[in-house]
Amino acid sequence: MNSEFRSGPGQLRQFRTHTSEFVILFLTLLYLLLPTHNSSLDAWYYAACVRHGHELLLAHHLLYNPTGWLWVKALQGLGLPVESLAALKALNALAAGTGLLVLHRLLRLLLPEKATWPWLLLTGASFGMLRFATENETYVEPLLLSLLASLAWARYQLGGQRAGHLLWAGLWAALACLVHQIHFFWWLGLLLGTGWYAGHKLRSLLLYILPALLVPLAYVAALPSWHEPLTISALWRFVFHDYYAGTAGGSVSGHGLLLSGINLVRTFGQLHGSTLALLRLYPGLWAVAAGFLGLLSYAAWLLWQSFRQRLRVPVPATAPAVGPVMRTHLLILALQLLFAVYSEGNAEFMVMVPALLAVVASVGLPWVPVRAVAVLGVALLGWNLAFGLVPANQLRFTNNDALLTRIQREPASWFLLDNHNLVLNQLHYRTGQPVAPPNVLPVPTLLVQRPGQSPARLRQWLRAQLQAGHRVYTNGLAGPQLLDRAQLVYGNQNAELLQGFQTQKVDSFATSFGSYYLTEIR
């Protein structure tokens, strides 16, 4: 046989050595090539802020918009034709790919090279990573910074506890908190790990905490942009702005626990009201579902076989040196999950779970076969591409272009809209006007839930507007009925609230799941 087709042991080892790099490159290309074309309302808002220079310093994620603004300005400086929303998605894709590269470096400190790539695949193919790596949201960039903090902290722990590594760990963790406050718990976990495992505890704690002084300094520097006085009270209210404004908060409840379980599953695999609709539109996707279940069953069988073998023959214990790294990241994982549960099961606060799980499980569960992890990673990648990334990139879930034009053309008319905040943020992005037009309101079902409102008051208000000669429209009466949260909670309440009024469809907006209609209320 020709020598160029022979594969010796050395070539096999070389292939294994480069498998992780191939996985990282492949996933990064997927992130870049499959950005969502159905951006969230927050994504439109951040893009509008960057595009028009509005509200760049937001308290909950102070440095996210400034980072995007610098990125867009840099691309424009190179003479590239830049569309802000698309450019910001590309930045997150690159951040996600870099995060996988950092995770690889971290895992290499803990595992043999051949055991790292399945965990990288599982992390990068999880829906939480795929979703936010292809969207202009605030969760991938701080994850990259926290992984850099963990890499530096692991080097500190495994490399003789050198002060320089600990300072870098504190700096990266502090910067992650400035990009999104949710990463405070990652910073806290590394702090507690430092206090528990460091040789010179007080000195080590001070070294780790020192870079965190950047956080209050950054918030103090941001206060003038919000026209706030330099006082302790103003600083406190600015740092916790979202909690005072009612846009953040939480509690522990049965409903929150249920959502936490659902969203933890969705962090790994896409599940949505669109799933059944996609299966109806494209029956060939049933083959993907069957393949996914087959691979899942195979991975479960491999796990069971390995577990039975572990009961008969004890698995060699984890190297004592890596134990502190694993246990510290288990603490971080627990802190992040507990806060996500407290935040009513917030799916966005679980984005870091796959990466943390890779660090914890790869070391703490040495009996888990890497083949099972690889099979699970392949299964999740296939499922999430078929039901998540590709539909979000190729299909149109909403179609607001004509609606935005009508709203601008009819400032005296009222628009009672499903997902009205998405429309407002798209208007902001389109027009550069940060003040929301007062004639765009939520659908009747949500209007009656506002303080002091009721179905009777809504009907009274509608009659007053019609008598004054104002036209009133809604898009909440007719359209595809996807099995999503809103449909389950509210059902057909919009039609019930409008009983007694005449309605007539005046426009339609085509989507991949059918047409939505703009209906005039008379």
Residue 313 has pLDDT above 90, yes or no: no
274, 513 Cβ separation under 8 angstroms: yes
In three state form, how does the secondary structure of 469-522 look?
CCCEEECCCCCCCCCCHHHHHHCCHHHHHCCCCCEEEEEEEEECCEEEEEEEEC
Mean pLDDT of 502-516: 90
What pLDDT score was predicted for residue 315? 61
144, 116 Cβ separation under 8 angstroms: no
Local structure of 400: helix, strand or coil: coil
DSSP characters for 105-132? HHHHHHS-GGGHHHHHHHHHHSHHHHHH
Mean pLDDT of 467-495: 73
More confident residue, 481 or 388: 388
What pLDDT score was predicted for residue 481? 67
Residue 4 has pLDDT above 50, yes or no: no
SS3 content of the chain, % helix, strand, coil (to 5): 70, 5, 25
What pLDDT score was predicted for residue 491? 54
Phi, psi of 519 (to 5 degrees): -115, 130
Residues facing 521 on adjacent strands = 472, 503
Mean pLDDT of 488-504: 76
Percentage of the chain lying above the pLDDT 70 cut: 92
What is the rounded distance in angstroms from the CA atom of residue 38 to the CA atom of residue 238?
31
Phi, psi of 283 (to 5 degrees): -55, -25
Count how many residues are written for the chain: 522
Look at the pTM and tell me if it is higher than 0.75: yes
What pLDDT score was predicted for residue 355? 97
pLDDT, tens only, 424-435:
999 999 999 988
Query: What average pLDDT is seen over the chain?
Result: 89
pLDDT, tens only, 375-418:
999 999 999 999 999 999 999 998 999 999 999 999 999 999 98
pLDDT, tens only, 42-61:
999 999 999 999 999 999 99
What is the rounded distance in angstroms from the CA atom of residue 72 to the CA atom of residue 82?
7
* Pairing, β 414-417 against β 472-474: parallel
In 318-347, which positions are buried (b, 16+ CB within 10 angstroms) versus exposed (e)? eeeebebbbbbbbbbbebbbebbbbbbbbb
What CA dihedral angle connects 6, 104, 393 and 484, to 10 degrees? 130
Dig out the tokens for 411 from the structure. Answer: 């400032």
Residue 244 has pLDDT above 50, yes or no: yes
DSSP state of 408: H
Closest CA to 220 of 178, 189, 283: 178
Phi, psi of 35 (to 5 degrees): -65, 150
pLDDT, tens only, 283-306:
999 999 999 999 999 999 999 998
CA 55 distance to own-chain centroid: 21
Q: How confident is the model at residue 202 (pLDDT cuts 50, 70, 90)?
A: very high
What is the rounded distance in angstroms from the CA atom of residue 507 to the CA atom of residue 502?
16
Phi, psi of 366 (to 5 degrees): -65, -15
